[in-house]
Amino acid sequence: MGPSKPAYTIYKPLANGDFLVRRTTDGAIFLGRPLVPDPAPTTPGRAKTAELIRRGAARPAANLLNHENLVSIHDELVTLPFRGPPPAPKSRSRPLSLPLFLSSPSSSADDPDPHPAAATATRMLLWDWNDAGTLQGVLDGYAAAGEEEVAATGGFLPESFVWHVALSLLRALQWLHEGIRETYDAVAVAPSGVSAAGGEDGYAGGSGGSGGFGPDGRKRWWKRVRGTTAPEPDWMPVLHRDVTAANVFLQLPRGVETYGAVKLGNFARCWVSGSISKSRETPVVAMESDDEVSLGELRESRARWMRDGLGLDKSHRPYTQGSELFAVGALLYHMMCGRALPPAEECPSCGCIHVTNNDAAEYTVCDHECVEDVNTDEAFAPLISYTAGLKQLASLLLRLNRSDEWRASAVLDLAWVGFEHWAANTEDGRSYRDIFDDIWFRRQNLARFKKRHREAEEEEAELMEIDGDVLVL
């Protein structure tokens, strides 16, 4: 009996010391990042992460990041060492293929390594491979046409993409803040007198119904069904504290979706609260950068902010769940207006406030020549390329800085109403395909496969005759 096949093989080494790793069973590609502490790390938190993983933190981290809209850990692996240089690939067209083995779930810093060459073996974590770059890359790529594009078309990036990013990030924050996960399904619907199953491809003729339209204009007899899981028991809210375009990672579509998955990553600055998400007695509050702050100090910071507002020194202002929702709003503003939102509070250049809205109690226009003042309500009004629901969502998010008035789940519920209206009533929305479409089409493909298999069996049975106890073909 030959040796067992490794679970993974190295597909391609990358210039920064990481690897692309292929899973043997289905060919899926992941990013392999070796856990080799660097005495002079160039990436902040890299050596610290390696030390935490060595002490057994990989599984808790994987559990926290186990969400479709977070950059997730899929495995902890061990590469067996080679004597001498690794073998070269046989040809340029074939990738490097080195064996990788799963790390023992029971191994820890105090347990012996399951592999005999553990002293020289390399441990690595397998992460999601975000093959479409980052949101920052998308914004930079379109930056040259920003102001002109908005002036000419009444918008910057397509509304379908803005909705896709917005819903993805709100789902990620709902999980981090509340331990609640979205569920996805697609169910057949039809008016009376029409089969709910529709045709083989999920469409039916006629008019009416509540399924919307497919990209080819035919009536679609199915609808998206969104649900949520019960909150994780004893979930302690997590604040990411760095929701920026550079930390929003993108993947290419894996099925029929218009866009691939959107994933929030880089948790180097994340903060885990010491309170249970179901309890509102202890507010979820942190400082923007300082981790060594007692719960009493955090409560005092929040109380002083509610009392003094911008009169409180910036270094003592609280960072809340609302701060992260505001950060999502700032990203939507950039995607819709073609320019970054000015600093939310005092400008580091002139000390003035540049961002306001129609509900602000008082506002002094800045006379300095640093950045242009922005009234978010007035900025969104002329953007005719976007529906009212999306503009209202962005306006709401930009009112939540340092607030704990709204939770991510409540904002997501509100956003979903606007998204469904856009999806059903605009040409862009009707042609947009997401995970629900992928679920439906995969289900239809499976149904077609089963039908054809059943028909083939019936046809084969018709060609057979039984003469007494003898099968005659």
In the predicted model, is pLDDT for residue 108 greater than 90?
no
Neighbouring CB atoms inside 10 A of 230's CB total: 8
Q: Where does the chain hold its CATH 1.10.510.10 domain(s)?
A: 135-181+229-433
Over the stretch 166-186, which tens digit does the pLDDT of each residue have?
999 999 999 999 999 998 887
The pLDDT value recorded for residue 291 is 55
SS3 of 141, please?
helix
Residue 289 vs residue 396, higher pLDDT: 396
Tell me how far apart the alpha carbons of residues 278 and 231 are, in angstroms, rounded to a whole number.
8
Quick one: angle between helices 321-337 and 159-178, nearest 10? 170
Instruction: Flag whether pLDDT at 111 surpasses 60.
Output: no
> ∠ CA 336-267-347 to the nearest 5 degrees?
50
Q: What is the pLDDT of residue 175?
A: 95
Q: Return the CATH number of 135-181+229-433, one of 1.20.120.550, 1.10.510.10, 3.10.20.600, 3.40.640.10.
A: 1.10.510.10
Least confident of 7-11, 151-155, 253-257: 151-155
**C-alpha distance across the termini of the chain, in Å:** 40
C-alpha to C-alpha distance for 244 and 137, rounded to whole angstroms: 12
Q: Is pLDDT above 80 for 161?
A: yes
pLDDT bin (cut points 50, 70, 90) of residue 201 is very low
Produce one character per residue of 282-295: b if its CB has 16 or more CB atoms within 10 Å, e if not. Answer: ebbbbbbeeeeeee
Q: What is the pTM of this model?
A: 0.77
Q: What percent of the chain has pLDDT over 70?
A: 61
Separation between Cα atoms, residue 95 and residue 73, nearest integer Å: 23
Long-range CB contacts (within 8 A, 24+) of 134-138: 134/245, 134/246, 134/247, 134/248, 134/249, 134/250, 135/165, 135/245, 135/246, 135/248, 135/249, 135/250, 135/262, 135/331, 135/335, 136/244, 136/245, 136/246, 136/248, 138/250
pLDDT digits (tens, 9 = 90+) for 454-471: 777 777 777 666 555 555
Q: Which of 91-105, 228-242, 459-473 has the lowest mean pLDDT?
A: 91-105
Residues 6+ apart with CB under 8 A from 446: none
Residue 90's pLDDT is what?
A: 45
CB 355 within 8 A of CB 366: no
**Number of other residues whose CB lies within 10 A of the CB of residue 131:** 13
Q: Are 251 and 71 in contact (CB under 8 A)?
A: no
Is residue 426 pLDDT above 90, yes or no?
yes
Q: Which pair of structure tokens corresponds to residue 263? A: 């994933």
Which of 94-98, 119-123, 415-419, 437-441 has the lowest average pLDDT? Answer: 94-98
Computed over every residue of the chain, the mean pLDDT equals 74
* Side-chain half-sphere CA neighbours of 38 within 13 A: 13
Distances (CA, A) of 114 to 6, 121, 275, 353: 15, 11, 37, 59
pLDDT range class, residue 347, cuts 50, 70, 90: low
444: amino acid identity, one letter: Q
